[in-house]
Amino acid sequence: MRSVLITGTSSGFGLHTAVEVARRGWHVFAMARRGWHVFATMRNLAKRAPLDAAVAAAGAAERLDVTQLDVTQAASVEAGVRAVLQRAGGHLDAVVHNAGVAVGGAFEDVPDAEARRVMETNFWGVLALTRALLPTFRAQRSGRIVIVSSNSAYAGEPANAIYVASKWAIEGWAESLAYEVTPFNIGVVLVEPGSYKTEIWGNSPRVLPENSAYRALMQHLEKAIDEKVLASARDPREVAQVIARALDARKPRFRYPVGPDAWIGHLVRGKLPSRVQRFAITRLLGLHRVRS
């Protein structure tokens, strides 16, 4: 049975991915290899109950272990990797970097602490865990690094500058890393979801000071996003299924856009001038009607 470490499994994409991968058995596209044993990790083990219930309902509890791992803490990364490798007999087939956070607000209003929290989780946390696992992947001359990115890596977004920056950064890093690890038979994969109904929308702080110069813009954006983006957000299990396919594939693609909006962004990426992209997003969200 193959083994995979998945981060951020207490909710959202991570929870659904852990369940989807754990419940899989024989697969034709995996060349009839056995299924996966999932090492589901999360920052706070007190939040594991939803995952435990979901994997039990899927009949796959015996194929999943839960381990504490906070990707922003070096000691936690070291201890988590050590524990997982010990249980896996020193061999790990893949890692899914899913842990992620966000903050909404005009860049000028977002405190440095919030901006750094996003970058520490979405960017530096991925680098730290990958660095900890690469010696194992290189020694066994195999491994797959799956990174949950976002269609936010395709173009700028108002009131989301820090999250967008984290996803642009992780994609540039992933493209570069692929050159270095390919000779060791280590694959790198980016999964890029569009708008999906996960807890990140409700759990992310929205910064809007009373005296903000961007107050009118932010109030308009909050309503527009609820009406035009969240209203059409899709089932996160779609993303979990794509991640599972990327793990099972003999020769996975480098990028997997997921959802209609992600596919549209993927197809026009780099083909439209920035001013055209800004015009389209401004009109879509009605920002041209906002006056400061």
Interval 101-113: pLDDT, tens: 999 999 999 999 9
The rounded percent of the chain whose pLDDT value lies above 90 is: 78
Segment 46-69 shows an average pLDDT of: 97
Chain centroid, CA 32 distance in Å: 28
CA atoms within 13 A on the CB side of 279: 5
pLDDT the model gives residue 275? 87
Tokens 């490798």 sit at which residue?
85
Instruction: Using DSSP, state whether 95 is helix, strand or coil.
Output: strand
Instruction: Using DSSP, state whether 251 is helix, strand or coil.
Output: coil
pLDDT the model gives residue 159? 93
Residue of 230, 187, 222, 190 lying closest to 205 (CA atoms): 222
Catalytic residues: 163
pLDDT the model gives residue 73? 98
d(CA 292, CA 285): 16
Segment 192-221 shows an average pLDDT of: 90
Residue of 11, 7, 1 lying closest to 197 (CA atoms): 11
| pLDDT tier, 200 (very low <50, low <70, confident <90, very high otherwise) | confident
C-beta neighbour count of 179 within 10 angstroms? 9
pLDDT the model gives residue 221? 87
The rounded percent of the chain whose pLDDT value lies above 70 is: 96
Over residues 8-29, the pLDDT tens digits come to 999 999 999 999 999 986 444 4
Which residues, in sequence order, are bridge partners of residue 97?
147
CA atoms within 13 A on the CB side of 54: 22
Tokens 């009406």 sit at which residue?
227
Checking if the pLDDT of 30 tops 70, the result is: no
Over residues 217-236, the pLDDT tens digits come to 999 988 888 776 777 889 99
Task: Name the residue with higher pLDDT: 222 or 62.
Answer: 62
pLDDT the model gives residue 22? 97
| pLDDT tier, 33 (very low <50, low <70, confident <90, very high otherwise) | low
Over residues 94-144, the pLDDT tens digits come to 999 999 999 999 999 999 999 999 999 999 999 999 999 999 999 999 999
pLDDT the model gives residue 290? 82
d(CA 172, CA 261): 21
Domains of the chain, start order: 2-213+234-270 (3.40.50.720)
Q: Whole-number mean pLDDT of the chain?
A: 93
Over residues 247-271, the pLDDT tens digits come to 999 999 999 999 999 999 899 888 8
Lowest model confidence (mean pLDDT) among 151-155, 197-201, 232-236, 257-261: 197-201
**Taking a C-beta distance cutoff of 8 angstroms, is the pair 181, 137 a contact?**
yes
